[in-house]
Amino acid sequence: MFDIAILGAGRIGRIHARNVAAHPDLRLKYVTDPNGTAAGAVAAETGAAVADIDAVLSDEGVRGVIIASSTDLHLDQAARAIAAGKAVLCEKPLDMDLARAQAAAPALGGDVPLMLGFNRRFDPHFATLKSRLDAGAVGALETLQITSHDPAPPPVSYIKVSGGLFKDMAIHDFDMARWLLGEPVTEVYAAASCLVDPAIAAAGDVDTAKTILRTASGKLCVISNSRRSGYGYDQRIEAFGSRGLLRADNILESAVSTWGGSAGAPGIASDAFQNFFLDRYAEAYRREVAHFADILAGRAKPSVGYADGVAALALAEAAAQSVATGQAVRL
Amino acid sequence: MFDIAILGAGRIGRIHARNVAAHPDLRLKYVTDPNGTAAGAVAAETGAAVADIDAVLSDEGVRGVIIASSTDLHLDQAARAIAAGKAVLCEKPLDMDLARAQAAAPALGGDVPLMLGFNRRFDPHFATLKSRLDAGAVGALETLQITSHDPAPPPVSYIKVSGGLFKDMAIHDFDMARWLLGEPVTEVYAAASCLVDPAIAAAGDVDTAKTILRTASGKLCVISNSRRSGYGYDQRIEAFGSRGLLRADNILESAVSTWGGSAGAPGIASDAFQNFFLDRYAEAYRREVAHFADILAGRAKPSVGYADGVAALALAEAAAQSVATGQAVRL
Amino acid sequence: MFDIAILGAGRIGRIHARNVAAHPDLRLKYVTDPNGTAAGAVAAETGAAVADIDAVLSDEGVRGVIIASSTDLHLDQAARAIAAGKAVLCEKPLDMDLARAQAAAPALGGDVPLMLGFNRRFDPHFATLKSRLDAGAVGALETLQITSHDPAPPPVSYIKVSGGLFKDMAIHDFDMARWLLGEPVTEVYAAASCLVDPAIAAAGDVDTAKTILRTASGKLCVISNSRRSGYGYDQRIEAFGSRGLLRADNILESAVSTWGGSAGAPGIASDAFQNFFLDRYAEAYRREVAHFADILAGRAKPSVGYADGVAALALAEAAAQSVATGQAVRL
Amino acid sequence: MFDIAILGAGRIGRIHARNVAAHPDLRLKYVTDPNGTAAGAVAAETGAAVADIDAVLSDEGVRGVIIASSTDLHLDQAARAIAAGKAVLCEKPLDMDLARAQAAAPALGGDVPLMLGFNRRFDPHFATLKSRLDAGAVGALETLQITSHDPAPPPVSYIKVSGGLFKDMAIHDFDMARWLLGEPVTEVYAAASCLVDPAIAAAGDVDTAKTILRTASGKLCVISNSRRSGYGYDQRIEAFGSRGLLRADNILESAVSTWGGSAGAPGIASDAFQNFFLDRYAEAYRREVAHFADILAGRAKPSVGYADGVAALALAEAAAQSVATGQAVRL
């Protein structure tokens, strides 16, 4: 049984807190948050104590720290936790700034495990796709199509501090692309528009983008992003191999379809897609925490870590630069 | 090039007329109908002449006769055409009365080819299912599920002269069951209700039925019938074998689906099913006439004939008797 | 926090034990089993104590008892637990013998809650179908098609003591039919064969059956059962209403499909179906225990109880009688 | 009844010849081909006469000419036919060279109808998608995903004279993009590789490409091309609108699926995709010729013409230039 602290009691912190509390090998000892009410609510629900980060880091019983605070705190908190000898599970993105993230290498790239919270790698559907791809089910991977559209845009107030579509939203897709491509991306081209809400453009961001990644061996990946879909959360992958295609489709709320009737038309209406990431990736979040438990127990090394966080951020910056210059960016 | 006459210029007669006219080996020479306007319309469209049956049968150039007249005329017209040496393609059902149909054996069971118009055997989807079944794709056939629901009931005036749900509508399913089961049915049980329209009950008929057929070796078949679906024309088959299942699904009007948007709900809405038999079985009707051409050319024997018409009618009568008595009927 | 005892540490008992242990409002205090090794394993995994039934029933702290013992013990253990004032969650079937189950009414039909373990009612997919049906999504229910095929037959040694296909396997489908039909079944006809394995016939049982249920108002239900499918666990429902159809399809292991490649053919190969009931109904078992917790907390009455167990058993006996006599059975 | 001549008796010429012969308003009078055997075969099948182009163009009875010759002859033959007052249906691409195609404007852009053979516009599935899009079924179009992968590459000898992947294969997708986007493309970026066969690279071509198109209003379109799929002919479109998504999926050979059994795995295996363009677009070719008949009859103006051919070619050249320079190309 390993004692865990969670830094940050927001939406993601609460998810992790529940999954820690439910895991047989983990115990949630502390939760910290500048917002005492939020921290208190998580503490009440999970039996953890509210504490500040100093108390957490000086408690030698705490073996792991989950960093779910605001992005600007990630690097510093991770460095402090690692300095204190605590294994770290840090939410994405590592930071808003690639240079700062790279500069943290001495602090974060050492022997104390740092796992990065790219939850989609732990999704059972994408993990199935990855393992079949690796097993050669469709031969050698040639190209990828990643579709990642949100059901509806966040408030513009969030957009303004989000780091932009590429660092905030597409960062997951860049990591997914890297994971599946299996070799470094050497070139990035992104075309982007503001089609959903002019307020997003006014905030200096885009809401719709198509990005092409290219690797040294010529593998290609297209990422499609939109802040709004009109039909639910769209999270699909197609991996084209030399002998076939692997496809991960969206997940429906149930296997019930309606033919005619209230569906309003003849033909077949599926149930809705699982609406957003808290539903769609609920199992992924559980498996992510389980992997952290395995790391604490010495049963596993982090399958995704600091270097992955930096690399995804580099792709996000390259994509933003490509939009700004209108040209492809070599890495 | 074989000259053909069509007896009956109603809905089905017109379909056959067009398919004959479009077939490279066939020429539609005559069309007959008590309704001169209907006959004239078909003649105008296809270049055939309007004639009466005596003229048709006495024209030695006519090689084949398609009987698409009202059911009560089928046996007599078929007998006359065969006596005149014309190959016959006779619409289903052979007759409303099993005993009468059986009594026609001397006239209809001889050497002149008589093909029965069980169009569904010529549907490419069901034909694919049948050929895979015969090829052992799912091992030995054990049970069948045939779903056959119409989009909407016909007028009650039609119901009254239709011969009832089993002879009028389920007759196709009985033939399909016989074709796929590949051995004689020995027992029939049918449960039926009037749930769609009380006027159908007042007319002495049912509109909803579930029928179980059993063969000597113990294979089982369920047929589901309804005069109305609420979601379009439902024509599906599941063939359960010792090693798997073959399923023929409904045919959509197009491969276009709508996600959200005018579909009114998140999730995926398929296009509509092909609405009714003239659409759903358009290709089957074409292939049926092509098979008749093959028969005329001596390239084929009728794949479905008089004995099949009698056997399907026997099942329909047994099902009706089962409903009347509430008990299973042994054949 | 309610203390629970589980009687029976077999396959189902173990499932319940884990779900009780994971439920925030329940604590697994005791587990009993004539096989001490099995009881010990469950106790070790969950922190419960191994005990005998007398100790369990005399412990006033125990609020609920889950009966997962062999079927012949169900009625007696349920009666004893209820007499001791413990709420009961009893596995299906209630008993092998309808008369015995009915005779237990005085002991089991009283005020102490008895919930019957028809797990499929708690499956989220079937529950979605039920709630949409009740909400009128397809108008008035007219007919049902329930497909329930196992991936592979159990050992013949199990078949011999199972009570037969209808009481052992189809009992779930009879309960599902009753739940969805919403009115009493008045007539049962079943046709059955032994097509999977002659040893099953030698054991006096059948392995393949099609059953038709009819209600007083004329609603019809077909149940398709087979002990073996060749393609995985087949658990589907179609509910035909006056305005459309609701369909619950099988659940796939993942949303990943393979096109070509190792699927061995052009076209699309889905992932496998969830293989058997422990996978397919894992969430249903969790929700079943959660409902039991709600009952203990006074938040709910049993949604499925003694009367449902008797009624499903009556349908199973009627189906078996129909097979034996070859005729429909009126209830 | 309009007399038609077909220039070119290759694969596509033969398709058109059959569809002309089967159309009630058209008669195939002449077929020309430098290969007399090919011309003779088409003539024998359709009843046309073999002729040379001078004879065709000087026959005043000929109302329409279908140009299905080798690409280098398209512009010249079209100009001659139009000069002779014949309506023209010209196969794609208009020419291999954009400047030459543009220079033909005086000869081809006049009043005599010139229809360009972008067959996919006549595919009923894509036409359904287009009409729903135009009807606002998913709101305003924002982005497109066009997937267009061939089952297998052509011989390298063909590749060498094909004009390259963009002019030979993707030209269809550029036209489809233009048709659906409904506004001019202003920017093209293409990333391409040779992953299928090194001999294609040796021939100076690529076999795999991802192309992004951008319009002035910021709509984006991705085109995915590959010369080989491993799972059949892949022809899909996704149109993302402000309120939902329209998707056109691949067309299966039949609606029969195999569960287990010879499919070799549990789960569901669909039938194969229609294998290549002659199957997949058979109906599109029929409708294309029917549209030409409507033009001849004065019932329609060409829905796709010279300007569309030039514009698609311009996109193909821009894509090739983007691959060559590694940068986006402004139009």
> Within this chain, do residues A216 and A176 fall inside the same structural domain, yes or no?
yes
> Within this chain, do residues D137 and D276 fall inside the same structural domain, yes or no?
yes
- What is d(CA C97, CA C313) in angstroms, rounded to the nearest whole number? 8
Flag if A247 and C260 touch (Cβ within 8 Å).
no
For residue A203 the two structure tokens come to: 């905030």
% of chain D residues with pLDDT over 90: 95
> Within this chain, do residues A127 and A275 fall inside the same structural domain, yes or no?
yes
* Long-range contacts (CB closer than 8 Å, 24 or more residues apart) made by C217-220: C217/C183, C218/B193, C218/B194, C218/B195, C218/B208, C219/B193, C219/B195, C219/C141, C219/C142, C219/C143, C219/C144, C219/C181, C219/C183, C220/B191, C220/B192, C220/B193, C220/B208, C220/B209, C220/B210, C220/C142, C220/C143, C220/C144
Residue type, C330: R
pLDDT exceeds 90 at position C261 = no
- What is d(CA C144, CA C124) in angstroms, rounded to the nearest whole number? 19
**Are β-strands C220-226 and C141-149 bridged in parallel, bridged antiparallel, or unpaired?**
parallel
Contacts of A149 (CB under 8 A, 6+ apart): A224, A225, A226, A227, A228, A229, A233, A234, D240
In this structure, what DSSP letter does residue C94 have?
S
Helix (H) or strand (E) holding D211: strand D208-215
State the average pLDDT over residues C291-319. 97
Asked if B144 and B303 touch (Cβ cutoff 8 Å), the reply is: no
> Phi/psi of residue A199, each to 5°?
-65, -25
> Within this chain, do residues C139 and C179 fall inside the same structural domain, yes or no?
yes
User: Is C272 near chain D, with CB under 8 Å?
Assistant: yes
Q: Tell me, what's the pLDDT at C52?
A: 95
> Within this chain, do residues A85 and A156 fall inside the same structural domain, yes or no?
no
Helix (H/G/I), strand (E/B), else coil: A44? helix
Query: What is the least distance, in Å, from the CA of D256 to any CA of chain C?
Result: 11
In a domain, C221, yes or no: yes
For A6-42, b/e burial (b = at least 16 CB within 10 A) is bbbbeebbbbbbbbbbebebbbbbbbbbeeeebbebb
Tell me: the pLDDT tens digits for A206-260?
Answer: 999 999 999 999 999 999 999 999 899 999 999 999 999 999 999 999 999 999 9
Tell me: the pLDDT tens digits for A68-107?
Answer: 999 999 999 999 999 999 999 999 999 999 999 999 999 9
pLDDT exceeds 90 at position C2 = yes
> Within this chain, do residues B105 and B127 fall inside the same structural domain, yes or no?
no
Tell me: the pLDDT tens digits for D42-78?
Answer: 999 999 999 999 999 999 999 999 999 999 999 999 9
State the average pLDDT over residues C261-288. 91
In a domain, C230, yes or no: yes
Q: Tell me, what's the pLDDT at C131?
A: 98
User: Is D245 near chain A, with CB under 8 Å?
Assistant: yes
State the average pLDDT over residues B10-22. 95
State the average pLDDT over residues C277-305. 96
In a domain, A158, yes or no: yes
> Within this chain, do residues B159 and B226 fall inside the same structural domain, yes or no?
yes
C119 HSE (CA, 13 A, CB side): 19
> Within this chain, do residues B34 and B143 fall inside the same structural domain, yes or no?
no
| Domain-terminating residue out of A112, A142, A166 | A112
Q: Which of D22, D128, D138 sits opposite B261 (nearest CB)?
A: D138
- What is d(CA D116, CA D119) in angstroms, rounded to the nearest whole number? 9
D7 to each of D4, D31, D311, how far by Cα in Å?
10, 6, 24
Q: Which of B210, B226, B331 to mutate to test the interface with C (most CBs of C within 10 A)?
A: B210
Flag if C268 and D264 touch (Cβ within 8 Å).
no
Average pLDDT value for chain D: 96
Tell me: the pLDDT tens digits for C200-220?
Answer: 999 999 999 999 999 999 999
State the average pLDDT over residues B207-232. 97
In a domain, C61, yes or no: yes
Query: What is the least distance, in Å, from the CA of B118 to any CA of chain D?
Result: 20
Contacts of C275 in chain D (CB under 8 A): 266
Query: Beta-carbon neighbour count of residue B105 at 10 Å?
Result: 12
For residue C243 the two structure tokens come to: 């305005």
Query: What is the least distance, in Å, from the CA of C271 to any CA of chain A?
Result: 10
Question: What's the angle, vertex CA D286, arms to CA D280 and CA D292, rounded to 5?
Answer: 135
> Within this chain, do residues D151 and D104 fall inside the same structural domain, yes or no?
no
CB pairs under 8 A between B and C: 116
User: Is B270 near chain D, with CB under 8 Å?
Assistant: no
- What is d(CA A184, CA A178) in angstroms, rounded to the nearest whole number? 7
Flag if D267 and C230 touch (Cβ within 8 Å).
no
Residue A102 is part of a domain; what is its CATH number? 3.40.50.720
**Is A58 exposed, middle or buried, given 0-12, 13-18 or 19+ CB atoms closer than 10 A?**
exposed
State the average pLDDT over residues A135-159. 97
Average pLDDT value for chain B: 96
Q: Tell me, what's the pLDDT at D265?
A: 80
When pLDDT is cut at 50, 70 and 90, the band that residue C130 belongs to is very high
Q: How far is CA D43 from the centre of its chain?
A: 25
DSSP-derived secondary structure for C280-314: HTHHHHHHHHHHHHHHHTTS---SSBHHHHHHHHH
For residue C318 the two structure tokens come to: 């009627």
User: Is D230 near chain A, with CB under 8 Å?
Assistant: yes
Asked if D97 and D65 touch (Cβ cutoff 8 Å), the reply is: no
Residue with tokens 């053919």: C265
In this complex, the chains that touch A, judged by 3 or more CB pairs closer than 8 A, are B, C, D
User: Is A269 near chain B, with CB under 8 Å?
Assistant: yes
Flag if C138 and A262 touch (Cβ within 8 Å).
yes
- What is d(CA A302, CA A286) in angstroms, rounded to the nearest whole number? 15
Q: Tell me, what's the pLDDT at A262?
A: 82
Helix (H) or strand (E) holding D179: helix D171-181
pLDDT exceeds 90 at position C221 = yes
Contacts of D261 in chain C (CB under 8 A): 230-231
Asked if D278 and D117 touch (Cβ cutoff 8 Å), the reply is: no
Question: 3-state DSSP helix/strand/coil percent for chain A, to nearest 5?
Answer: 40, 25, 30
In a domain, A292, yes or no: no
| Domain-terminating residue out of B63, B92, B112 | B112
**In terms of residue numbers, what domain contains C321?**
122-283+312-330
Flag if D244 and B250 touch (Cβ within 8 Å).
no
State the average pLDDT over residues B279-283. 95
Contacts of B145 in chain D (CB under 8 A): none
Q: Which of A326, A269, A289 lies closest to A115 in space, CA to CA? A: A289
Query: What is the least distance, in Å, from the CA of A188 to any CA of chain D?
Result: 10
Flag if B255 and D125 touch (Cβ within 8 Å).
yes
Contacts of C267 in chain D (CB under 8 A): 231-232, 252, 269-273
- What is d(CA B104, CA B115) in angstroms, rounded to the nearest whole number? 15
User: Is A103 near chain B, with CB under 8 Å?
Assistant: no
- What is d(CA C296, CA C300) in angstroms, rounded to the nearest whole number? 8
> Within this chain, do residues D38 and D173 fall inside the same structural domain, yes or no?
no
User: Is C229 near chain D, with CB under 8 Å?
Assistant: yes
For residue C156 the two structure tokens come to: 């013949």
User: Is D232 near chain C, with CB under 8 Å?
Assistant: yes
In a domain, D262, yes or no: yes
In this complex, the chains that touch D, judged by 3 or more CB pairs closer than 8 A, are A, B, C
Q: End-to-end alpha-carbon separation of chain D, Å?
A: 44
Q: Which of B209, B201, B200 lies closest to B174 in space, CA to CA? A: B209
Q: Tell me, what's the pLDDT at B169?
A: 96
Q: What does the longest C-alpha to C-alpha distance in chain B come to?
A: 65
> Phi/psi of residue C87, each to 5°?
-65, 145
In a domain, B230, yes or no: yes
Tell me: the pLDDT tens digits for D110-167?
Answer: 899 999 999 999 999 999 999 999 999 999 999 999 999 999 999 999 999 999 999 9
DSSP-derived secondary structure for B219-280: -EEEEEEES--SSS-EEEEEEEESSEEEEE---BS-SEEEEEGGG-SSSEEPPPBP-SHHHH
- What is d(CA C90, CA C78) in angstroms, rounded to the nearest whole number? 7
Contacts of C252 in chain D (CB under 8 A): 267
Q: Which of A255, A320, A308 lies closest to A119 in space, CA to CA? A: A308
> Within this chain, do residues D57 and D170 fall inside the same structural domain, yes or no?
no
Query: What is the least distance, in Å, from the CA of A165 to any CA of chain B?
Result: 23
The ipTM estimated for the assembled molecules is 0.95
| Domain-terminating residue out of D66, D94, D112 | D112
Query: What is the least distance, in Å, from the CA of B252 to any CA of chain D?
Result: 9
> Within this chain, do residues A141 and A259 fall inside the same structural domain, yes or no?
yes
Residue C259 is part of a domain; what is its CATH number? 3.30.360.10
Tell me: the pLDDT tens digits for D5-50?
Answer: 999 999 999 999 999 998 989 999 999 999 999 999 999 999 999 9
- Structural domains of chain C, count: 2
Query: What is the least distance, in Å, from the CA of D123 to any CA of chain C?
Result: 20
Tell me: the pLDDT tens digits for D75-108?
Answer: 999 999 999 999 999 999 999 999 999 999 999 9
Peptide bond into A154 cis (omega under 30): no
For C105-121, b/e burial (b = at least 16 CB within 10 A) is eebbeeebbbbbbbbbb
Contacts of B251 in chain D (CB under 8 A): 255
Flag if B137 and D261 touch (Cβ within 8 Å).
yes
> Phi/psi of residue C225, each to 5°?
-125, 140
Contacts of A129 in chain C (CB under 8 A): 256
Q: How far is CA B270 from the centre of its chain?
A: 27
In a domain, C303, yes or no: no
Closest residue in D to C252 (Cα–Cα): D267
Closest residue in B to A250 (Cα–Cα): B267
